[in-house]
A and B are shown apart, each in its own frame.
Chain A
């Protein structure tokens, strides 16, 4: 396992997440894609930390996990609001303003 392989893995995860974010129509699917992207970040941080031999990356990864979790919690609350409004959590429904 080299640093390069870890970076390729994280870049692949990030791209899969980004693809999901652009193609999914369901709010939960979007949140899952965001999680994938966030985990790509964490893999990066921990890989750098491991191969450089310092702990800064691990500390940053802890903060990064906490931030992502708080963000997703708020996201789920917004999905509930969306479901309450439309009886459905597909994001395409919520575009009434432009008309």
Chain B
């Protein structure tokens, strides 16, 4: 075994190593210097992004891992999402958990390592280990309790964190056990842990049961209905920077894993009906449940459930074009949702009010923040000409071309319902008089990250071409490669 063999996972290794160094550095840092850990993390992520251009990341490691244009795209997307969440939440974390910053960034980096290994995993053991490497840090991250001076507020913060993490943990641990049970049936049937052996295995009832159990476990991680019970409570209770991370990166990784499994391991006749049901139910429940919500984080949680429903539409259609459009949708979703949560973070955590009323008069208190929020909401709703419009348009086109016109009709009707609650948030920001008239201050790095998201959302909306091309290449690489 030579070192060159590890070239496809060089970026993951550097992040994992960097995370361990970060934890060691944290031990010897004086309390006042801990705020630099965020900068160290960000630096590490930028270096990883640079490394991902230096190493082409192509090629296989035995039968366990296969790097291609697909894994490269997923990795970069995940690093960018993490970078946004880390820098956006930097000052807040330094304020509410000053002594625990080392653990916080270590957990985020470990989670990132797991996520980055997922799209290239071609072996069930690597798949489930990376899946857990992604999942377990998230349980801990949602359990972070704000430091509060007074005992009453401290207790309230503890209750919030306990509820948020408990909901995520119970559903998460249950779904992991269910996935593992499903995998044990699959391994027994196929006699091997390789994904291509699963595709070749005879479709016995045991095998089909295993595949459906695995689909259930994956459905949890992306928050599809009926595995979405944790989403609203966890989103409401966890720290907003954690939610910003949780709502984009693990969902992207989970979606990429589902893509790999559906292309490489599962005959399409078995998952397709189940995926169609998941997609339609997720879109419907997500959009309808978001309507009455008054808490912004909760509302965005249900909106995320609905967005996953749209992506599952493309997944149940399958084929090179639909998968490319799914990747494009995923990129758009990551950038937009990250931006939305960062704006909510900038407003709600400063005011200590994460209800819709907390956003009231945002456009008057900080015009650029109001404009950013409006653009992100329009993109989530799919209004021209931001990125969300193109991703919905192309996605629906791909589904229509595959002869599933009725799915497009369902999706389009529910997108109109979605428009209603997105505009309700925008209405609070633009039409309602502010509760407090004074202008809103935003920390510099958070502002930079929001502006970057805004530029990406509008820029990619104006020129979607290059990204579309990259996504098409990635989808082809997934279909044609090992």
Q: Which residues of A contact B (CB under 8 A)?
A: 7, 10, 14, 17, 21, 27, 30, 34, 37-38, 40-42, 44-45, 47-48, 52, 54, 56-57, 59-60, 63-64, 67-68, 70-72, 74-75, 77-78, 81-82, 84-86, 91, 94-98
Which of A60, A81, A96 makes the CB contact (< 8 A) with B143? A81
Tell me how far the C-beta of A44 lies from the nearest C-beta in chain B, rounded to whole angstroms.
Answer: 4
B235 shortest CB reach to chain A, Å: 10
Can you report 6 A-B residue pairs in the complex whose CB atoms are below 8 A from each other? A10-B184, A27-B166, A37-B181, A60-B124, A74-B136, A81-B165
Max chain A Cβ within 10 angstroms of own Cβ: one of B174, B180, B192, B298: B180
* Cβ contacts under 8 Å, B177 to chain A: 17, 34, 37-38, 41, 68
Cβ contact within 8 Å between A56 and B187? yes
Option from A47, A86, A96, A97 in Cβ contact (under 8 Å) with B232: A97
A56-B193, A60-B187, A97-B232 given; A67·B158 CB < 8 A: no
Given A56-B187, A57-B187, A77–B192 Cβ distance below 8 Å? no
Interface centre among B140, B159, B167, B176 (most CB of A within 10 A): B159
Asked whether, in the complex, the Cβ of A56 is within 8 Å of the Cβ of B180, the reply is no
Do residues A41 and B125 form an inter-chain contact, with CB atoms below 8 A?
no
* B129: nearest chain-A partner, CB-CB: A63
B 129-188 contacts with A by CB, 8 A: 129, 132, 135-136, 139-140, 143, 145, 155, 158-159, 161-163, 165-167, 169-170, 173-174, 176-178, 180-181, 183-185, 187-188
- Whether B173 lies near A81 (C-beta < 8 A) is no
Closest CB in chain B relative to A42 CB, distance in Å:
8
List B contacts of A82 (CB < 8 A).
162, 166
**Across the interface, do B180 and A67 meet the contact criterion of CB distance under 8 Å?**
yes
A76 to chain B, nearest CB (A): 10
What is the CB-to-nearest-CB distance from B67 to chain A, in angstroms, rounded to a whole number? 22
Contact: B155 with A48, CB < 8 Å? no
Q: In the complex, which residue of chain B has the Cβ closest to the Cβ of A36?
A: B177
Report the bound CA distance from A70 to B137 in whole Å. Answer: 11
Task: Write the residues of chain B forming the contact surface with A, with a CB cutoff of 8 angstroms.
Answer: 124-125, 128-129, 132, 135-136, 139-140, 143, 145, 155, 158-159, 161-163, 165-167, 169-170, 173-174, 176-178, 180-181, 183-185, 187-188, 191-193, 206, 232-233, 236-237, 298
- Asked whether A78 and B143 contact (CB < 8 A) given A34-B174, A37-B178, the answer is yes
Cα–Cα distance between A38 and B167 once the two chains are bound (Å): 19
Residues of B contacting A47 in the complex (Cβ-Cβ under 8 angstroms): 188
- Contact of A45 with B128 at beta-carbon distance under 8 Å, contacts A37-B178, A94-B163 already known: no
- The reply to whether B166 and A48 form a contact with Cβ atoms under 8 Å apart is no
- Asked if residues A44 and B184 are in contact (CB atoms below 8 Å), the reply is yes
Given A60-B124, A81-B143: A54 and B191 within 8 A (CB)? yes
Q: Are A81 and B180 in contact (CB under 8 A)?
A: no
The 5 A-B residue pairs whose C-beta atoms are closest, nearest first, are: A48-B188, A44-B184, A94-B163, A85-B162, A37-B177
Q: In the bound complex, how far is the Cα of B169 from the Cα of A91, in angstroms?
A: 12
Which A residues are CB-close (under 8 A) to B169? 74-75, 78
In whole angstroms, what is the CA distance A21 to B193 when docked? 28
Contact A63 B184 (CB under 8 A): no
- Excluding A45-B184, A59-B125, A78-B165, 6 further A-B contacts by CB distance (< 8 Å) are A41-B181, A52-B188, A60-B187, A70-B136, A97-B233, A98-B233
Given contacts A57-B187, A67-B132, A97-B236, contact A74 B140 (CB under 8 A): yes
A97–B163 touching, CB < 8 Å: yes
A81 and B129 contact, Cβ closer than 8 Å, known pairs A48-B184, A48-B187, A74-B169: no
Once bound together, how far apart are the Cα atoms of A10 and B213, in whole Å? 15
Are A44 and B129 also in contact (CB < 8 A) when A52-B191, A77-B143, A78-B139 are? no
CB distance from B141 to the nearest CB of A (A): 11
Whole-angstrom CA separation of A54 from B188 in the bound complex = 11
Closest Cβ–Cβ distance, residue A89 to chain B (whole Å): 10
Q: Which residues of B contact A52 (CB under 8 A)?
A: 188, 191
| Contact across chains for B166 and A67 when beta carbons are under 8 A apart | no
Find the residue from A7, A38, A78, A86 having the highest chain B CB count within 10 A.
A78
